Amino acid sequence: MEKFLDEVLIEVTAGHGGAGSMHFRREKYVEFGGPDGGDGGIGGNIIIRANLSMVTLDRYLTKRRFRAQDGFPGEGNERSGKKGEDLILFVPLGTQVFDEESGELLYDFVKDDGEFQVAKGGRGGKGNTHFKSSTHQTPKFSQPGEDGEYKHLRFSLKLLADVGIVGLPNAGKSTLLSKITEAHPKIAGYAFTTLSPNLGVVKRKGDIYRYTMADIPGIIEGASKGIGLGLSFLRHIERVKGILYVFDAAALDIQEDFRMLQSELRSYNPELLNRPHLIVLNKIDIWEDQSFTEELLKSVSSLGRVIPISAQEEINLEELLSVMDSTFFQKELEELHFNEEEDRENSDEQK
């Protein structure tokens, strides 16, 4: 079973530069011909590159030290040594690269074409041909190559989701994600079913535009202090445009649960409370009394826009998606509408 690893420490060392050559041309009747030692090759670099097929840092679970190839030594006849091969390390989109010793953020992989050279290979040494002079015709020395850069790194993965789904265990978050996206999270009726974030893609308006949703494992009181699973995964909603607070509609005190969830988010990162949000009351199919649903909606209306649904029975899911469009993606929809108008105008002009 794949382990969801979202933070790891590794050590990287770029390649050592190749040694310069101490070599002389062979000339008849001359003990030492002119110096012709070539330079050593540059050591290989350590490069980090985004890989869209990766969703976790699990490949770094067993191996934590990496070294690029050393540069090759120089040779006679002023032949330079080959450069050492670069070592490319792949990470999921959304990975941040930190210098573990200084704490500095070196690079943030937010684009799928991201690439970052984190450690530079050492310079190759100069061959003895560089050290010939009018007073020193036969230099019997050359330079050694230089060490490649060493870095102690921390990879920290933050999912690049547009919408984060948060709630208490068993609120139905995974079921909701499975119904409105093509994700297939593990679903069962016990606490902490979700042991890792699940990502899904929502396709809207005939797949004209898409956005991603992340189901964050159930948050319990004290998650921001390390209780339960929440602390490990709260980082994965730091980049979202909007938050869905999902509740079991039959919960005893939804308002108190909402305050607890917001308190945990505030403790972890207060800025999260500034994101647009919607309240989702799930599992309304467990009763048939519509008047009870209406009373429940009134009782929690102060928390924000409230959408009653049944993820399992697929009740009101299209309404939820429409409200999400207008709440979280209004700017994108306006740009899409503007582009469609431009296309129509250009088409009319061509006619």
Residues 178-208 have pLDDT tens digits of 999 876 655 544 444 445 677 888 988 777 7
Query: In this structure, are 130 and 80 located in the same domain?
Result: yes
How would residue 1 be classed by pLDDT, with cut points 50, 70 and 90?
Answer: very low
173 annotated ligand binder: yes
Residue 144 in marked binding region = no
Predicted confidence band of residue 49 (pLDDT cuts 50, 70, 90) = very high
pLDDT confidence of residue 330? 85
Q: Do 34 and 86 sit in the same domain of this protein?
A: yes
Flag whether 348 is in a domain. Answer: no
Short-list 146, 153, 132, CA closest to 84:
146
Question: Are residues 93 and 182 part of one domain?
Answer: no
- As a whole-number percent, the residues of the chain with pLDDT over 70 amount to 84
pLDDT per position as a tens digit, 165-176? 998 888 899 899
Residue 343 labelled as part of a binding site: no
**Residue 193 counted as an annotated binding residue:** yes
Q: Are 177 and 215 in contact (CB under 8 A)?
A: yes
Decide if 349 is inside a domain: no
- From 11-25, 124-138, 250-264, the region with the lowest mean pLDDT: 124-138
Domain containing 182 equals 163-342
Q: Are residues 100 and 134 in the same domain?
A: yes
Model pLDDT, residue 223: 52
Domain ends where: 123, 157, 191?
A: 157
Q: Is 13 in the same domain as 40?
A: yes
pLDDT given for residue 31 in this prediction: 57
185 labelled binding-site residue: no
User: Is 217 annotated to bind ligand?
Assistant: yes
Annotation-wise, does 216 bind a ligand?
yes
DSSP label at residue 207: T
The pLDDT score that the predictor gives to residue 338 is 61
**Residue holding tokens 């309240």?**
279
- For the cut 70, the answer to whether the pLDDT of residue 275 exceeds it is yes
Summarize the confidence of residues 82-103 as an average pLDDT: 95
Total tally of structural domains belonging to the chain: 2
Give yes or no for a contact between 279 and 258, defined as CB atoms under 8 angstroms apart.
yes
How does DSSP assign 100-129, residue by residue?
TTT--EEEE--STT-EEEEEPPPPPPPPGG
CA atoms within 13 A on the CB side of 248: 12
Query: Any binding-site annotation on 325?
Result: no
Instruction: Please report the DSSP string for 125-144 in residue order.
Output: PPPGGGG--SS-SS----PP
Letter for the amino acid at 263?
Answer: S
Instruction: Give per-residue pLDDT as tens, 282-297.
Output: 999 888 888 888 889 9
CA torsion angle for 176, 181, 182, 185 (degrees, to 10)? Answer: -30
Known binding residue 171? Answer is yes
Buried b (16+ CB within 10 A) or exposed e, 125-148: bbbbbbbeeeeeeebeebbbbbeb
Give the SS3 label for residue 202: strand
Residue 310 covered by a domain: yes
Residues 109 and 201 in one domain: no
Q: Is 196 one of the annotated binding-site residues?
A: yes
